Amino acid sequence: MTGPTRVVLGVSGGIAAYKACELLRRFTESGHDVTVVPTAAALQFVGAPTWAALSGKPVTSEVWGSVHEVRHVRIGQTADLVVVAPATADLLAKAAHGLADDLLTNTLLTARCPVVFAPAMHTEMWEHPATQDNVATLRRRGALVIAPAEGRLTGTDSGTGRLPEPAEIFELARDVLSRGAAADLLDLAGRHVVVSAGGTREYLDPVRFLGNRSSGLQGYALARAAVARGAEVTVVAANVSLPTPAGVKVVRVETTGQLRDAVLAAATGADAVVMAAAPADYRPQSTSTSKIKKAADGSAPPVVQLEQTPDILAEISRDRARPGSVVVGFAAETGDETGSVLDHARTKLARKGCDLLVVNDVSGGKVFGEADNEAVVLDSGGGATEVPRGSKSTLAHVIWDHVVARFETG
């Protein structure tokens, strides 16, 4: 593709319209050519001068402006991506039924590029059967309708229906654009996937714990990539402080035992489970209910007795909650005198019984907390795919490519 990516930002009439200003700025500052197409109701919340100033283009909701340019057709025809944020219940209904009474709904009918809807409305409106039917219709036709977030709505109300954070909608949009003209952009549509992320903590006392350096970045990249490919995504996050990816349900845990329970519960309806979290291998046999004090007389410190934690990956690989489900593990390895990184990883793949194992060489602390990653993806059939250093999003899509291939071969 030559020149800047052409993005249409549709804005419908909800209070969350003000958040679309930040989304617009993120698109323009990253070099995208953005055309804002608001509805008349959206202009009641944020005026046309604001959209024009931020986009550098004239803005209208009417089909009658610049008629000689046939804008009601051309905008959609020439777009590389359409993002509607917020997408109200009214806008989703119009899009599902093919209505075209303003510039945005005309644009949606003429667009042949990926279309992303980011719904925002009150919980009752989102959960209403009419809205759910409209969402199902749009998804069936190939649109990506992400799930709204949970949180504060207008007034004193809280619940499901909040617009995901603009930064996360932007990251999702970039993920969709990165796949370009892939044959099947939504190859995980209709699938439920579970991703674990972060590192567990095993407490010695109320203050101290045994833990590791996992940040959750790779797990969250996997979750974002799965949403971009149409999946329903549940993330079990162990001590992760990152923003929640758009369209993702997050279950927060601390310990390995809690991680196990949450993963097993989520896996009952999952087509794939990707264990990107780093659970502790050991935990203290007992936990002090009060802070362990340093001895004033300098005597020997207390001895901490350890015991092994549950092997979650081996358990979910052995006891598949759903026949035909795909289980993916991660292995952070270092080589030693007994073998190389891949030697240890192949042994682990056989021992764990998972379908795929993503192997990271973490010698010297590599990978943890970094934006980039490199890995080797081993499969239980003996194959190995080297993924050179690149973004964690790139690795995430390679992993999902392997999972999709497993679905296709049964």
Q: Is 360 a catalytic residue?
A: no
Residue spans of alpha helices (H) in 283-387: 312-318, 341-352
- 8-state DSSP, 16: G
Residue 340's Cα: distance from chain center in Å? 33
SS3 content of the chain, % helix, strand, coil (to 5): 35, 25, 40
Give me the torsion for CA of 185, 238, 280, 356, rounded to 10°: -10
Q: Which pLDDT score is estimated for 197?
A: 97
92 and 164 within one domain:
yes
202 and 161 within one domain:
no
Instruction: Catalytic residue, from 106, 134, 212, 239: name it.
Output: 212
Find tokens 């690989």 and name the residue.
317
The answer as to whether 131 is a domain residue is yes
Give the separation between CA 18 and CA 144, rounded to whole angstroms.
22
256 and 159 within one domain:
no
Q: Are 73 and 110 in contact (CB under 8 A)?
A: yes
Tell which residue, 60, 33, 63, has the closest CA to residue 49: 60
243 and 297 within one domain:
yes
108 and 156 within one domain:
yes
Q: Are 361 and 334 in contact (CB under 8 A)?
A: yes
Instruction: Please give the structure tokens belonging to residue 363.
Output: 């010698």
Q: Which pLDDT score is estimated for 64?
A: 64
Give the separation between CA 386 and CA 42, rounded to whole angstroms.
48
Q: Last residue of a domain, which of 178, 209, 229?
A: 178
Q: Are 51 and 22 in contact (CB under 8 A)?
A: no
Q: Are 12 and 104 in contact (CB under 8 A)?
A: yes
Q: Last residue of a domain, which of 123, 145, 178?
A: 178
The answer as to whether 185 is a domain residue is no
**Number of residues assigned to the chain:** 410
The answer as to whether 388 is a domain residue is yes
Q: Amino acid identity of 317?
A: S
The CATH number covering residue 342 comes to 3.40.50.10300
The CATH number covering residue 54 comes to 3.40.50.1950
Give the separation between CA 17 and CA 330, rounded to whole angstroms.
40
323 and 249 within one domain:
yes
298 and 371 within one domain:
yes
The answer as to whether 187 is a domain residue is no
231 and 145 within one domain:
no
User: What angle is formed at CA 215 by the lines to CA 312 and CA 85, rounded to 5 degrees?
Assistant: 105
Please state the pTM of the whole predicted model.
Answer: 0.92
Q: Which pLDDT score is estimated for 66?
A: 64
Tell which residue, 358, 364, 274, has the closest CA to residue 312: 274
216 and 299 within one domain:
yes
Q: Which pLDDT score is estimated for 1?
A: 44
The answer as to whether 86 is a domain residue is yes
Q: What separation in angstroms does the CA of 68 have from each of 74, 76, 138, 261?
A: 11, 16, 31, 62
For every one of its 410 residues, what pLDDT tens digit does the chain have, with 9 covering 90 and above?
456 899 999 999 999 999 999 999 999 999 999 999 999 999 999 999 999 999 999 998 876 666 656 467 889 999 999 999 999 999 999 999 999 999 999 999 999 999 999 999 999 999 999 999 999 999 999 999 999 999 988 888 889 999 999 999 999 999 999 887 665 889 999 999 999 999 999 999 999 999 998 999 999 999 999 999 999 999 999 999 999 999 999 999 999 999 999 999 999 999 999 999 999 999 999 999 999 888 877 788 888 999 999 999 999 999 988 888 999 999 988 888 888 899 999 999 999 999 999 999 887 655 566 788 899 999 999 999 999 999 999 999 999 999 999 998 86
Give the separation between CA 172 and CA 396, rounded to whole angstroms.
13
The answer as to whether 67 is a domain residue is yes
Handedness of CA 207, 213, 217, 219 (dihedral sign): negative
Give the separation between CA 322 and CA 325, rounded to whole angstroms.
6
Q: Which pLDDT score is estimated for 320?
A: 87
pLDDT in tens, 121-136: 999 999 999 999 999 9
Q: Are 367 and 332 in contact (CB under 8 A)?
A: yes
Q: Which pLDDT score is estimated for 34?
A: 97
Domains contained in the chain, number: 2
Q: What separation in angstroms does the CA of 213 have from each of 237, 278, 335, 345, 403?
A: 14, 9, 19, 20, 27
Provide the domain limits for residue 340. 192-409
Q: Last residue of a domain, which of 178, 201, 217?
A: 178
The answer as to whether 198 is a domain residue is yes
Q: What separation in angstroms does the CA of 240 have from each of 222, 253, 293?
A: 14, 9, 28
The answer as to whether 353 is a domain residue is yes
Instruction: Please give the structure tokens belonging to residue 133.
Output: 């039917």
209 and 158 within one domain:
no
Residue 210 host element (H or E): strand 209-210
Instruction: Please give the structure tokens belonging to residue 303.
Output: 């001895």
Q: Which pLDDT score is estimated for 309?
A: 96
Give the separation between CA 405 and CA 410, rounded to whole angstroms.
9
Instruction: Please give the structure tokens belonging to residue 120.
Output: 């925002």
157 and 273 within one domain:
no
93 and 196 within one domain:
no
